[in-house]
Amino acid sequence: MEPKNKSQFNRRDFLKTGALSGLFLGTAGLASCATNGSQRSYKGRVKNIIFMVSDGMSHGTLQLADLMRRRKEGRASEWIRLYEENKLNRGLMDMTTGSSNVPDSAAAASSWGSGVRITNGSVNMMDDGTALNSVVPIFRDAGRKTGLVTTTRITHATPAGFCASVQSRGMEDEIAQQYLERQPDVLMGGGHVHFDASTRGDGRDLYTKFADTGYKIARKKADLAGIGNGFQKILGIFADHHLPYTLDHVNTPDLLENVPTLAEMTKQAIESLHASGSGFLLQVEGGRVDHAAHGMDASGLVYDQIAFDDAIEEAFKFYEAHPDETLLIITTDHGNANPGLNGVGSGYSDSVPNFDKIQTFKHTNNWVLSEFRDTVPSISQIRERIEYATGIDVSSEHADFLRRALNNERVAAYDMRNRPWATLGEIMSNYISVAFVGTAHTADYVELASAGPGSETLGPFTKNTDLFNLMLSAAGISVSEVTQV
Ligand SMILES: [Zn+2]
């Protein structure tokens, strides 16, 4: 049974950053491998960990995706099906960070990645510059393969929180450089601008550097098909910045052909990592759920949550084939904008038929607004564009709210909603019955689902940093040099 009891960590990262301080996790509590029958401990049993994050998923988002799948496809969402069939443990998690009850994604991911509650905006780094070691290098040094998959830039806060350590999440060129040094075996998402010599601040060509260290470079969906069945290090970068929203993705032929879905990337990542035979840690993020929530963009939100749900299906298939040695965690890092299907009509009878209209939408609110960046459109132009994207003929009165918002006029009493995207979100609420409380992260306790050895130790209420300790103890990785505070 792996890993060995002695510490296997090189001190390079710590010495570089002067981070050999703080409390140490002892080896005794983490590395025991009890194997006596029914008392068999989860500790050290887990070979593979799949950690899935729907970024910024409020409880309402989970429900809306499930309702959409039931109405449109005649099936529950995968996440809720697994609840219905009692295949996942369920609880709430407190995602408080070092600076706020309202987390940002960088500090939230860091709470899992390094087990410390740090200041919002930082990635595995204390305010005094102390860098914290994180799970990707820790698992790498313990002989496991590692991977990060997302629909955002791969250098974005959530994947970075499992691997990088920087003072500010905006240092994405540096995060890409740290990926090169720390060598997560699989990297897939967007973020070309942080790897290409012509757009990086330092002019370095990271693609060549990654290729030189054994990575297969994939720039479009077809490149993934060329990757064989065996273990392969992969750098898959499929967009300059974030990958497209799912609804725009599936209705734009060029994007559909060239950009893989989150489920496709997840499947590829699991296959490559598993083929190594070494066990692995894989983080999968549905990152644009968060962006759609910020934008009060209901169709963007629901379809991206469903794309995440498809990725759960891939991960759960793997878990079911390897249940005794796989820990599966499915969660979110914070609520965002708290969407919900609101009651309208006599006996609330209009709510669901209104929501059903989203089934035939072609494009997101984000796509609608992308045309209006430079000039303020007329009321009829606004109505035409919304009708093309959604099939809904909004009233002139509603369209005029958006025209005025685009003209920088004040249209909302709540400051946070006084933005064009919030105004469009509010307009659409009249037709689809999905409304939002705001445009930002919330302090809500979040959904935490899990399966596999160690998941039984998660009770109804979990502190975010406990997942770091669970991952290490489940994998039997003894850490004597991880910086803790
Ligand atoms: Zn966010």
Percentage of residues of the chain with pLDDT beyond 90: 89
Cα of 257 vs centre of ligand 1, distance in Å, is 28
Cα of 263 vs centre of ligand 1, distance in Å, is 22
The three-class DSSP label of residue 235 is strand
Cα of 114 vs centre of ligand 1, distance in Å, is 20
Cα of 45 vs centre of ligand 1, distance in Å, is 35
Other Cβ atoms closer than 10 A to 480: 13
Cα of 267 vs centre of ligand 1, distance in Å, is 26
Q: Is the pLDDT of residue 446 over 50?
A: yes
Write out the residues surrounding ion ligand 1, Cβ under 5 A: 56, 290
Cα of 375 vs centre of ligand 1, distance in Å, is 27
Cα of 241 vs centre of ligand 1, distance in Å, is 15
Q: Exposed e or buried b for every residue in 166-182, given b needs 16+ CB within 10 A?
A: bbebebbbbbbbbbbeb
Cα of 336 vs centre of ligand 1, distance in Å, is 7
Cα of 121 vs centre of ligand 1, distance in Å, is 11
Lowest mean pLDDT among 29-33, 119-123, 204-208, 213-217: 29-33
Spatial neighbors of 347 by CB under 8 A, at least 6 apart, are none
Q: Is the pLDDT of residue 134 over 80?
A: yes
Cα of 480 vs centre of ligand 1, distance in Å, is 34
Q: Which one, of 148, 200, 146, lies nearest residue 171 by Cα? A: 200
Cα of 105 vs centre of ligand 1, distance in Å, is 6
Which residues sit opposite 191 in a β-bridge? none
- pLDDT tens by residue, 340-358: 999 999 999 999 999 999 9
Cα of 211 vs centre of ligand 1, distance in Å, is 32
Cα of 157 vs centre of ligand 1, distance in Å, is 10
pLDDT at 85: 98
Cα of 261 vs centre of ligand 1, distance in Å, is 21
Q: Which one, of 41, 93, 112, lies nearest residue 454 by Cα? A: 41
Cα of 441 vs centre of ligand 1, distance in Å, is 6
pLDDT at 229: 86
370: pLDDT confidence band, cut at 50, 70 and 90?
Answer: very high
Cα of 351 vs centre of ligand 1, distance in Å, is 27
The residue with greater pLDDT, 222 or 32, is: 222
Query: What is the average pLDDT value for the chain, to the nearest integer?
Result: 92
Cα of 292 vs centre of ligand 1, distance in Å, is 9
pLDDT at 453: 97
The residue with greater pLDDT, 229 or 466, is: 466
pLDDT at 478: 82
Cα of 68 vs centre of ligand 1, distance in Å, is 23
* Mean pLDDT, residues 75-99 taken together: 98
Cα of 142 vs centre of ligand 1, distance in Å, is 32
40: pLDDT confidence band, cut at 50, 70 and 90?
Answer: confident
- pLDDT tens by residue, 309-328: 999 999 999 999 999 999 99
pLDDT at 240: 98
Q: Is the pLDDT of residue 458 over 70?
A: yes
pLDDT at 482: 52
Cα of 332 vs centre of ligand 1, distance in Å, is 11
**Does domain 12-32+45-338+441-475 match CATH 3.40.50.1260?**
no
69/71 Cα distance (integer angstroms): 6
Distance of CA 400 to the CA centre of its chain: 35
> Which sequence spans correspond to the domains of the chain?
12-32+45-338+441-475, 341-435
> For 235, how many CA atoms within 13 A lie in the half-sphere containing its CB?
23
pLDDT at 480: 58
Cα of 62 vs centre of ligand 1, distance in Å, is 16
pLDDT at 228: 82
- pLDDT tens by residue, 234-269: 999 999 999 999 999 999 999 999 999 999 999 999
Does the global pTM surpass 0.75? yes
Cα of 442 vs centre of ligand 1, distance in Å, is 10
Cα of 290 vs centre of ligand 1, distance in Å, is 5
